[in-house]
Structure formats: C-alpha cells, structure tokens
Amino acid sequence: MWCGADCSSLAQPETHPRCAVCRTELRKHTSGEWTVHLCGEGHGIWMTTPVLERFERFHESVRPQGRKSAKADGAEGSESNERQGVSLSNPHPPVLPEGVQDATVAYRPCPECGQAMARRAYRKISGVIVDICLGHGVWFDAGEFERVAQFLRAGGIEASRRFEAMSEARRERLMRDLGFFRHLPKYGSHFF
C-alpha cells in the first residue's frame, strides 16, 4: 500500500536487458569502447542508441579503399561516387533471412522497457528490417547486425543521405523500380 513517502532516494533494483525473442537476460559484451548485449541462445544483439551512433560515426570515418567522399570531389550524389559500395541505383532490397518461409510481422518488445518496438528499414535503403525503441536502442535479429555492418562498410550512410535528399516522389519511384514493394500488400508506400 502506498504511504505517500518519497521513494526516489531508495535504491532501485538493477535491471538487465532481456532478449526481444526469448526474454532471457542478455549477456553484456564489451570490446574496447563498444558495449553490446547478446542473447545466449543466439537470437540477436541489442545495441543502445549512443553505441549505434558511435558505430555509425566510426564506419563513416573509415571509407572503403579507393572510395572518395562525395564532398571531397565536389560532385555530391554523382554517378562517379557510386562506383563502389552502396549506390542509389543499387541499394539492397529487403530480403527474408535465410530459412524463413513466412514474412509474418512480429513486433518485438524492447529489451529495456518491454514496450513494442517499431520495425523500420535501417537507413531506409539497407534492406535490413530492424526493431527500434526510440528511447533505448535497436534490436538486431540473428544475422542482421552483420548485414548492417556490411552496408555501413560499403558507404551506406553516404548513400542514405543522398536518398534522403531526393524528393519523396522520386524516392518512391526508385523503390518501386528496384522491387522494394514486391513482397508487400498493394496498399501504398506508407512504410517510409
């Protein structure tokens, strides 16, 4: 029963993130300045927002060999900048993970707060659908983190910025032309 006393000074029990799939406690894994939480059953990886932002900045600062920055050669978004890595003419369409037969959508609970997370295409053109809690971080199902890292190594952040700079109508045409909506119901493109 509530007595009206101020409980803010009382120690709160330490909570540990739980797997978004099996709800077991996640194992903390630290390597240098990177800390992620792993499911012991192999269901996925939990990465907090600040860690993901550092991870993206790291990959943005380390360009693939031979790849120039769009700003460095003064032709932002030009075809010459899209020779290697991810390009707007060749983004990665969404694919089902290997062995998955059904595209049933499951809204996973946030490992930290337990609320249902939003499902979004990471950086819109990566082809990887991740689960996002806006207040805490991103859940990567098994195999998704590796695909996101590959996308980032290939210059995905730069390509996603060029994609965002396009008009909405042009983005929709590009996505349709590349087959991004072939596995979705025919009720529009409100997914981005």
Q: Is residue 98 situated within a structural domain?
A: yes
Q: Is residue 114 situated within a structural domain?
A: yes
pLDDT digits (tens, 9 = 90+) for 108-136: 999 999 999 999 999 988 889 999 999 99
Q: Is residue 76 situated within a structural domain?
A: no
> Average pLDDT, stretch 10-25?
81
Phi and psi at 46, nearest 5°, equal -110, 130
Distance CA 88, CA 158 (A): 10
Q: Is residue 190 situated within a structural domain?
A: no
Residue 189 has pLDDT above 60, yes or no: no
The count of structural domains within the chain is 1
Lowest mean pLDDT among 39-53, 73-87, 170-184: 73-87
What's the pLDDT at 64? 58
Decide which of 53 and 89 is more confident: 53
Q: Is residue 192 situated within a structural domain?
A: no
What's the pLDDT at 104? 66
Residue 187 has pLDDT above 70, yes or no: no
Across 86-185, where does the E strand assignment appear? Answer: 118-121, 129-133, 137-141
CA 159 to chain CA centroid, nearest Å:
15
The conformational region for residue 179 under phi > 0 = left, psi -120 to 50 = alpha, else beta, is left
Q: Is residue 133 situated within a structural domain?
A: yes
pLDDT digits (tens, 9 = 90+) for 141-183: 999 999 999 999 888 888 888 888 887 778 778 777 777 655 5
What's the pLDDT at 164? 81
Q: Is residue 184 situated within a structural domain?
A: no
pLDDT band of 6, cuts 50, 70, 90: low
pTM of the model: 0.66
Give residue 146's domain range.
27-62+85-177
pLDDT digits (tens, 9 = 90+) for 87-110: 444 445 444 445 544 556 789 999
